[in-house]
Chains A and B, each alone.
Chain A
C-alpha cells in the first residue's frame, strides 16, 4: 500500500506562486479530496504528483520514496483528466490497452485485463467505437478504465465528474465510492465541488491560494473549520458571518455588532482570545441550520423564502444583517412576516478578524 507525502512543496510559474510550502500526508489506501476554488493550485498539486510538473521546492514521496526526479511513467500512478484526454484515433479497446502496451504486458494478458475492466465498467458493447462516438458519461468510464487497467498504486483524479450532467454526476459519485472500496487504492481527488468532496472522501484538504487551510475528515471540516475561509467555503447555503467585537470575559462575554448585543458566555474560546478580549475584533459565523425560530430570540423580518421541496431556505433581516436560515418546508413563513429567531450559541464559530483563524476552544 502506498501513501503520498508532500514536504514543503512549492511551485512557482514565473512570479506567480501556485503552491506555497505545502505539507500533506495522504495515507495508504485513503480517499482524499483536494478542495478549493478555481485557480487555487489544486490541479498543479495533482500534476506534480503525476510528474507532469516539477516542484520548485520541497519533495513529493509516493510509497515512502521521493519521486521528484522520476518521469510520470515510473511513478506507478494513473491520472483521470477533467477532459478525459482519450486518444481520438484509437478505439475504446485501444485506449484502455495503451498503458498496458507501454508497460510491456504480454498480449494475451493484455486482452484479459482489458476485458475485465470492460466488464467492470460495462463497456463491452462499446469496445470498437472511437471516443467521439461516445456520450460524456461513456467517455468518462473509458477514461476511468484506462486508469484502472494498470492497477496502479495511486489514482489521481482531476475533476473527473465536472463535465457530466447533474444526474450522471450523482451516479458516478456512488460508482467511484464503490470502486474505491473494492480496489482499496490510494486516491487523490481534485475538485472544486464541496458536495463531491464531502460525500466521497475520508479526508479533505482545503486549499486556497496554494496554501493548505485544513486537512481533516469531512465532518470535522464542516463542524470545526480551521478558519473563516474554510467555514465560508464548505456548506450550502454558506455560513452567515457578522463582524463585531468581543467584550467582557468568561460567562459575561458579549458579542457586539451595531446595536446587537449577543451574550456568548456559553461559548468556550481559546486562551489567545481571552487574554485581551476587551477590544477584540472578531467575525462570528453561524450555519443556516443553527438559526431557529424561538420566542426568546430577536425580532427578525422574513425577506425571501426559497422552498426546495424538503426544506426552505429563508433570508431574514436580523438586526440589519442578512442571515440565511434553513427551515422546515412546513415553517409556513411568508415574506414580510416578523418572527423571533435565535442563533444557537453553542454552535457558533468565532474567527479572528485579523487573520481569520478559529478562536473556538474545541477541547472537549
Chain B
C-alpha cells in the first residue's frame, strides 16, 4: 500500500492502546497457565507471585492419572466430532438444495430456519429434556449431539448457503452433461468449491460443541458420558473446596485443542464469516 506513514506519536499511541487490549485479554490466560504450574503451597502466599518460584507438572499428572479427565476429554472429542460431522453433512446438502432446487416454499423454509436460530436455547432445554426421556436418549452422548445439531444447523445452513450461491450453476450442469448423477456432481464439483465454507462451518460447529455447558449439565449426569465442560466443574468444584491448581491445569488442556485449530484454520474462518456477512 502506498499510504503515507502516519506520524510517530500516532503510531506509538496506537501500539500502546493495542497492547493494552491484548494484555487485558491475555492476562487471565497467562494467569491460568502460570497457576497450573505452581505448587499448591505457592497459590495463596501474600504478596502473590506472578511467576512460579518452583515449576511443577504435578497437577497435570494427577489430572491424567487420578481423575476421569481423560474420559471427559474423550467424550468431548466425540461430541465435537460427531456434531460437526452431522451438521456438515446435513448443512451442505441442505444449503445446496436451498440454492439450486426450486420447490414451493423454498425461500420461506430458508427464513424459517433462521428464525429457529433466533430462539434462545435456554427456552428449549426443558422440552428437549422431556423429549430425550421419551425416546430413551437421556444421559447419552447422542442426546447432546442432537441438541447441538439443532442450534448449530441453522447458522451452518445460512453460512453455507451463501457459499453455494457463489458457485456457478453451469459447473453442476456441466458435470450432469458429462455423465455424473446429481450426487456425483455434488461430490465431484460442488463440494471442492465449497471447501472454505465447509471448513469455517466445521470450526464454528466444533467450537460450539466443545464449549457448550448448559445442555451438557442438564441432559447427562453420569461420569461416563460427561464432556469436559461439566465434568471438570463437577469433579473440582464442590461446596467445600475448589481445587484451583487442578482446575487451571484442566483449563489449559481444554483450551489447547481450540488454540491449535484456530492457529491452523484461522484464515478460513475469517473468509467464511466475511462471505456470510456480505452475501447472507
Residues of A within 8 A of B (CB): 47, 50-52, 71-73, 77-79, 81-83, 85-89, 98-99, 102-103, 146, 150
Contact = CB atoms under 8 A, between A and B. Distances in A.
A5 B27 CA distance: 76
Nearest to B171: A85
A83 B193 contact: no
B180 interface: yes
B177 A50 contact: yes
Interface stretch (B128-136, B181-189, B204-212, B268-276): B181-189
- Could you say which of B168, B171, B177, B179 has the most chain A C-beta atoms within 10 Å of its C-beta? B177
A72 B188 CA distance: 16
A87 B171 contact: yes
A52 B176 contact: yes
A73 B174 CA distance: 10
Contact of A83 (B170, B175, B177, B192): B170
* Category for how many chain B residues contact A: 10 to 19
B70 interface: no
A73 B173 CA distance: 10
B176 A98 contact: no
Given A87-B171, A87-B189, A98 B177 contact: no
Contacts of A82: 170
- Could you say which of B171, B181, B193 has the most chain A C-beta atoms within 10 Å of its C-beta? B171
B178 interface: yes
A86 B176 CA distance: 13
Contacts of B170: 81-83, 85
A71 B184 CA distance: 13
Contacts of B180: 73, 102
Given A72-B173, A87-B189, A98-B188, 6 more contacts: A77-B177, A81-B173, A81-B174, A83-B168, A102-B179, A103-B179
Contacts of B178: 73, 78, 98-99, 102, 146, 150
A89 B177 contact: no
Interface of B: 168, 170-171, 173-181, 184, 188-189, 192-193
B177 A73 contact: yes
B272 to A, nearest CB: 18
Does more than half of chain B's interface fall in helix, strand or loop, or is it mixed? helix
A86 B193 CA distance: 12
A45 to B, nearest CB: 15
A361 B26 CA distance: 91
B168 A85 contact: yes
A98 to B, nearest CB: 5
A52 B170 CA distance: 10
A175 to B, nearest CB: 21
A73 B181 contact: yes
Contacts of A86: 174
Contacts of B188: 87, 98
Given A85-B170, A85-B171, A72 B177 contact: yes
A73 B175 CA distance: 9
Contacts of B184: 102
A83 B174 CA distance: 10
A72 to B, nearest CB: 4
Contacts of A85: 168, 170-171, 173-174
A247 B139 CA distance: 97
A73 B176 contact: yes
Contact of A79 (B171, B174, B189): B174
B174 A87 contact: yes
Nearest to B167: A88
A89 B192 contact: yes
B168 A99 contact: no
Contacts of A99: 178-179
A148 to B, nearest CB: 12
Nearest to B178: A99
Contacts of B189: 87
A172 B184 CA distance: 32
Nearest to B181: A73
Given A83-B168, A85-B171, A89-B192, A51 B179 contact: no
A51 B193 CA distance: 24
A32 B193 CA distance: 35
- Could you say which of B168, B173, B188 has the most chain A C-beta atoms within 10 Å of its C-beta? B173
Contacts of A51: 176-177
A97 B180 CA distance: 13
Nearest 5 pairs of A and B residues by beta carbon: A102-B179, A85-B170, A99-B178, A85-B174, A73-B179
A22 to B, nearest CB: 21
Contacts of A83: 168, 170
- Could you say which of B171, B176, B179, B188 has the most chain A C-beta atoms within 10 Å of its C-beta? B179
A165 B174 CA distance: 24
Contacts of B177: 50-52, 72-73, 77-79
18 contacts: A50-B173, A73-B176, A79-B173, A81-B170, A82-B170, A83-B170, A85-B168, A85-B174, A87-B188, A88-B171, A88-B193, A89-B193, A98-B178, A98-B188, A102-B175, A102-B180, A146-B174, A146-B178
A102 B177 CA distance: 10
Nearest to B182: A71
- Could you say which of A83, A88, A102 has the most chain B C-beta atoms within 10 Å of its C-beta? A102
Contacts of A89: 192-193
Nearest to A74: B179
B241 to A, nearest CB: 56
